[in-house]
């Protein structure tokens, strides 16, 4: 079996795209990013794709009268690349049910919170406002309801006393750059199984440690 074709949808800077593209060059990675699509003509992620020699296409959402029309054209463009997997990496559009159904089981998203906590926008601001001690990111399969699909992987970070949105976002982003390539690697290797809304990873390492924030006093 050849390498899996991956299409990545971006709206902004494309740092998760860069992390995924770099990871795909590692030996044993069974997928390759072959197409990057953006809804914004000047998204920095398009430049990152070109620097990696990846084909790019723009489908400008502002040119369409409805979400349905935009998503229909987006699907047509995505299908041109014949992807085995579609990854939403900072794609800031809510997709229609028809688009999600078209790629069911092969559509992944990276979200900057420990879902099911903080779906939607402004996750770091909301986490700080609530005073949580642990925050993080989640890779999940996309379903019609926003940010509630089956969870593939998560990474947690401490929330520090002097954090603001920027510092917390930067700490979470470092983990996004680790967990997204890992999840995509597992998908491309055929190691993910989905049953009754739960995802399991074949031959995954077992984590037995704990993250305590703040840590207890030494004894």
**pLDDT value at residue 206:** 84
Find the mean pLDDT for residues 117-146.
98
**What positions carry a catalytic annotation?**
111
**pLDDT value at residue 13:** 96
Q: Fill in the DSSP letter of residue 121.
A: S
Percent of the chain clearing pLDDT 90 (strictly above): 92
Q: Residue 2 — very low, low, confident or very high, per pLDDT cuts 50/70/90?
A: confident
133-186, pLDDT tens digit by residue? 999 999 999 999 999 999 999 999 999 999 999 999 999 999 999 999 999 999
* Dihedral sign from CA coordinates of 59, 61, 63, 68: positive
Nearest-angstrom CA–CA distance, 193 and 186: 10
Domain presence at residue 218: no
**pLDDT value at residue 183:** 98
Number of domains in the chain: 1
Strands of the sheet containing 4-10, edge to edge, are 55-58, 31-38, 4-10, 85-88, 107-111, 134-141, 151-158
| CATH number assigned to the domain comprising residue 192 | 3.40.50.170
Find the mean pLDDT for residues 67-74.
98
**pLDDT value at residue 208:** 76
Residue 107's H or E segment, with its range, is strand 107-111
Find the mean pLDDT for residues 190-215.
91
6-60, pLDDT tens digit by residue? 999 999 999 999 999 999 999 999 999 999 999 999 999 999 999 999 999 999 9
Domain presence at residue 210: no
Residue 1 predicted with pLDDT over 70: no
Torsion over CA of 79, 80, 83 and 89, rounded to 10 degrees? -80
Domain presence at residue 215: no
* Contact call for residues 215 and 160 (beta carbons, < 8 A): no
Nearest-angstrom CA–CA distance, 100 and 142: 7
Domain presence at residue 45: yes
Domain presence at residue 206: no
Nearest-angstrom CA–CA distance, 73 and 62: 13
Domain presence at residue 20: yes
Task: Please give the residue range of the domain that contains residue 128.
Answer: 4-201
Taking CA atoms, 169 is separated from 23, 41, 122, 183, 197, in Å, by 22, 25, 10, 20, 28
Q: Fill in the DSSP letter of residue 52.
A: T
Domain presence at residue 23: yes
Q: Residue 207 — very low, low, confident or very high, per pLDDT cuts 50/70/90?
A: confident
Domain presence at residue 207: no
Nearest-angstrom CA–CA distance, 53 and 139: 25
pTM of the prediction? 0.96
Find the mean pLDDT for residues 70-90.
98
Find the mean pLDDT for residues 198-215.
89
């Amino acid at each position: 079996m050849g390498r899996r074709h991956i299409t990545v949808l971006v709206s902004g800077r494309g740092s998760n795209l860069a992390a995924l593209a770099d990871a795909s060059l590692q030996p044993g990675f069974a997928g390759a990013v072959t197409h990057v699509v953006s809804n914004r003509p000047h998204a920095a992620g398009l430049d990152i794709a070109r620097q990696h020699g990846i084909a790019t296409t723009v489908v400008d959402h502002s040119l369409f009268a409805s979400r349905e029309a935009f998503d229909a054209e987006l699907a047509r463009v995505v299908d041109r690349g014949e992807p085995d997997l579609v990854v939403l990496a900072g794609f800031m559009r809510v997709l229609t049910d028809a688009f999600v159904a078209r790629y069911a089981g092969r559509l992944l998203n990276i979200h900057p919170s420990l879902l099911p906590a903080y779906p939607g926008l402004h996750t770091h601001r909301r986490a700080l406002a609530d005073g949580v001690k642990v925050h993080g990111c989640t890779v999940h399969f996309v379903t019609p309801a926003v940010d509630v699909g089956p969870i593939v992987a998560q990474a947690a970070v401490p929330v520090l006393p002097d954090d603001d949105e920027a510092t917390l976002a930067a700490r979470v982003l470092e983990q996004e750059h680790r967990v997204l390539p890992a999840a995509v690697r597992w998908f491309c290797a055929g190691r993910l199984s989905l049953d009754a809304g739960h995802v399991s990873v074949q031959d995954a390492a077992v984590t037995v440690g704990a993250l305590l924030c703040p840590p207890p006093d030494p004894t």
